[in-house]
Amino acid sequence: MKSDLEIAQTTEAWPIEHIAQKAGLTAAEIIPYGRHKAKVDFDPDQHSQENGQLILVTSINPTPAGEGKSTVAVGLADALNLTGAKTMLALREPSLGPVMGMKGGATGGGYAQVVPMEEINLHLTGDFHALTVAQNTLVALVDNSIYQGNPLQIDPSQVLLKRALDVNDRQLRDIVTGVGGHPNGVLRESGFEITAASELMAILTLATDLTDLQERIDRIVVGYTYDQQPVTVAQLQVGGAITALLKDALQPNLVQTLGHTPTLIHGGPFANIAQGTNSIQATRTALKLADYVVTEAGFGADLGGEKFLDVKTPLLGQHPNVIVIVATVRALKMHGGVAKNNLTAENIPALTAGLANLEQHIFSMKRYGVPVVVAVNQFATDTDAELKVVTDFVAVQQLKVAVADVWGHGGQGATDLARIVLQAATEPAEFQPLYLPTATPVEKLTQIVQVIYGGSGVTLTAKAKRQLQTFQELGWAQLPIIVAKTQYSLSDDPKKLAAPTDFKIHVREFVPKLGAGFLVALTGKILTMPGLPKHPAAEQIKVDSTGKITGLF
């Protein structure tokens, strides 16, 4: 069987100029980066045509079996294009951390991929790198201000910002900096996050234009003074320099699927620890250019889905017209208690037990008042009986469901799915936000836990409670909440699969992100800097003397 990379390398990609033309972009509106990638210089506000329909692809809680959400999004977009519907894809950018670590690439799989696969997974057009250097420049400027007489009276023990690398590096989670005395800076404990979890990534993803980008950067709170006052980037007077570093990164990146569907890849992944959706700029651009825009939300509907609907949708000014929940027989069997090495055998009881996970996500997504459909991402080992159990279950929920084989057949494998999505897109939708902006942080969290996760409530550490008191005094209490939580469970315990009940979510700490415009709630044991596994994917990656890469999955 060919690997994803081998499939991607044997398909002829169109020159990016042809893809731009297909998307309706003029030559002046694209800036080529290599032969098959381009930055898009397009201001959606300057175009009066009506927006297309927005299709949000999300999923059940992921398991090591793989659920294939990106793969289904790609296959669905290709299938919609095959029906003659003018469609674009809007996806998040991959992070190099998992590419070198556990996961491999993040550009779909099989015949439902985005290409050029290697370039997208390694550097794309450098957005992550620009964010990395911008975040590290910003924190260096903060430390330099402390070192050079500390005119803003920043308390070195209360610097909020961390440095960032697009690397899975547990060694840098918790570090002591400024060791060695003068002239090596001021001794203080700090740490690195993965770039996708940085505040600048969230800002880039949510900014509506360059002016909004700069204003958000200026609003970032870098830390507190000795008398507990927040210090902003505006006070440091370096917002212009940081904006200059991110100016090009703000433009969406145009690539293509194997089926030549124009695709905008832009914004950071990891809805477990960050906002984790395609950027506002890219989604708005796609909505102006296409009649149907397929986008995805990271990990399960509890993480990416909820954040898309509660944080991104208000800024986007348009809610999804259809929500697609992706499930696989394999993953549902794991939720039902089957071990990873037993997944090929038919197991109806385990599958039936695992459906509780799908059920909770159906319940939570229907809550938003938007038509919901279910896509079963078919694997070769799925039996007809197993597939029928899933489709019958969804039918009982009065939802449309389709089985799709996008890995093996790309868009051709998703024609049924495309049909039910197009049908759902004609149904009426009345979007209902989960909470009102005026709700308190605890009210917002409780609503998320009870409605989206199916839990009973939320507990806060003494530190988290003190923080909320501070936020109240500073006027930050009405910001939306980004929950950082394990992706493997609806609860904050990665071991509790399927649909746990009667659990609480434990908030150990909040991180205020005033530039991004939200409060991050760190729950359970979630970390914002991953580590590498015993045998990192990097060990498999090779390059031959012609520059051809192998071993990138």
- Phi/psi region, residue 283 (left: phi>0; alpha: psi -120 to 50; beta: rest), is alpha
Closest CB to a second copy among residues 465, 525: 525
Active site residue 407: yes
Cα separation, 379 vs 529, whole angstroms: 32
Residue 421 CB, nearest approach to a second copy (Å)? 37
Catalytic-labelled residue, pool 271, 286, 424, 516? 271
CA distances, 492 to each of 15, 61, 410, 503, 509 (Å): 45, 12, 35, 9, 14
Cα separation, 138 vs 491, whole angstroms: 35
Catalytic-labelled residue, pool 42, 192, 308, 379? 379
Secondary structure of residue 317 in the 3-state scheme: coil
Cα separation, 282 vs 279, whole angstroms: 5
Closest CB to a second copy among residues 237, 472: 237
Residue 127 CB, nearest approach to a second copy (Å)? 10
Residue 395 CB, nearest approach to a second copy (Å)? 44
Other CB atoms within 10 Å distance of the CB of residue 496: 16
Catalytic-labelled residue, pool 58, 71, 107, 257? 71
Residues 6+ positions from 119 with CB-CB distance below 8 Å: 34, 36, 37
Residue 137 CB, nearest approach to a second copy (Å)? 5
Closest CB to a second copy among residues 118, 359: 118
Cβ–Cβ < 8 Å for 135, 196: no
Active site residue 192: no
Binding-site residue positions for ATP: 63-70
- The token duo for 331 is 């993953």
Cα separation, 84 vs 303, whole angstroms: 32
Closest CB to a second copy among residues 124, 448: 124
Closest CB to a second copy among residues 189, 427: 189
Binding-site residue positions: 63-70
Residue 551 CB, nearest approach to a second copy (Å)? 7
**Neighbour-count burial of 98, counting CB atoms closer than 10 A to its CB (0-12 exposed, 13-18 middle, 19+ buried):** buried
Cα separation, 550 vs 167, whole angstroms: 20
CA distances, 89 to each of 23, 301, 368, 550 (Å): 11, 19, 22, 26
Active site residue 39: no
Cα separation, 269 vs 273, whole angstroms: 9
Closest CB to a second copy among residues 103, 319: 103
Active site residue 340: no
Residue 168 CB, nearest approach to a second copy (Å)? 7
Residues 6+ positions from 216 with CB-CB distance below 8 Å: 203, 206, 207, 515, 516, 517
Residue 175 CB, nearest approach to a second copy (Å)? 5
Closest CB to a second copy among residues 167, 351: 167
| Count of all residues that appear for the chain in the document | 553
Active site residue 379: yes
DSSP 208-236: SSHHHHHHHHHH-EEEEETTS-EEEHHHH
Cis peptide bond upstream of 371, omega within 30? no
Active site residue 271: yes
Catalytic residues: 69, 71, 92, 103, 271, 299, 379, 407
